[in-house]
Copies of this chain bind each other. A is one copy, B any other.
Amino acid sequence: MATPAAAEPARDDACDAALEDDLGWALGVVFRSHVKAAHAVLEDIPGGPRGHQVLASAVQDLGGNQGALAAQLGIDRTVLTYLIDDLEKMDLVERQPDPADRRSRRVVATPKGRALWTDRQAALRHVELRVLGALGEDAALFRTLLQRLATHANGLDPVAHTCELVEELQ
Contact = CB atoms under 8 A, between A and B. Distances in A.
Nearest to A59: B18
A149 B62 CA distance: 32
Interface in A17-70: 17-35, 37-38, 40, 49, 52-53, 56-57, 59-64, 68
A134 B149 contact: yes
B64 A149 contact: no
Nearest to A28: B74
A122 interface: no
A142 B28 CA distance: 15
Contacts of A16: 60, 62
What's the interface size class on A, roughly? Answer: 35 or more
Contacts of A30: 27, 146, 149-150, 153
A130 B40 CA distance: 34
A6 interface: yes
Nearest to A17: B60
A147 interface: yes
Contact of A146 (B11, B56, B59, B142): B142
Interface of A: 1, 3, 6-7, 9-11, 14, 16-35, 37-38, 40, 49, 52-53, 56-57, 59-64, 68, 72-74, 111, 117, 124, 128, 130-132, 134-135, 138, 141-143, 145-155, 157-158, 161, 164-165, 168-169
